[in-house]
Copies of this chain bind each other. A is one copy, B any other.
Amino acid sequence: MGRTSDAKEKLLQVAFELIWQQSYGSVSVDDICERAKVKKGSFYYFFPSKSDLAVAAYEEHWQCNRPKYDRVFSPLVPPLERIDTYCKLLYEGQKAKQEKTGRVLGCPFASVGSELSTQDEKIRQKSQEMFDRMCKYLENTLRDAHKEGLIEKQDFSAKASAIFCLVMGMLLQAKVKNDSEVLRNLGPIVLQMIGATVPA
């Protein structure tokens, strides 16, 4: 009953995109509403605050992209290929965004986590959640790689975390240098880090 609307979804999409391209602090509720073609009253009909919208937008983005990650890190794919594909997708994704916007945007979760972790507890938690999710993909991959005799036994949890930190740092470097090419060779760097034979 009552009327239907895609305003909520539009707000989530636009918010994610705008905050990624700029920053949480520099994007206003009015900006988001204007781009989403939604009036401010509707905004506050759907979301209690700007911060709540941001959290919802990031969760929505994760839910939309989860199938993609599941595919990349599928147990059906050879372990080291998963990592290489993941790195390639990161590079290509950043490059594509750079071509569209003129700017390397880095990791959206890292950016918002870095900006707001000391300020907004809900956003901090969402950032941490993403961190843990990605580390799990990597940890599983490392375990599988070990089972297949591709890498030595090691602390897989710690190593997965270190890999993800390296990747986040690389994305930050790309953003700060506004140069996606620093990500070109990411795959081999990560593979070497886990002691895998790097393909020529």
Contact = CB atoms under 8 A, between A and B. Distances in A.
A136 to B, nearest CB: 14
Nearest to A193: B193
A103 B131 contact: no
A24 interface: yes
Contacts of A177: 128, 131
A105 B128 contact: no
Interface in A16-55: 21-26
A19 to B, nearest CB: 11
A128 B116 CA distance: 21
A197 interface: no
Contacts of A161: 173, 182
Given A168-B169, A169-B168, A170-B165, A118 B21 contact: yes
A156 interface: no
Interface string A60-79: 00000000000000000000
Contacts of A84: none
Contacts of A173: 131, 161, 164-165, 168
Interface of A: 21-26, 103, 105-106, 110-111, 113-119, 124, 127-128, 131, 158, 161-162, 164-170, 172-173, 175-178, 182, 185, 189, 193
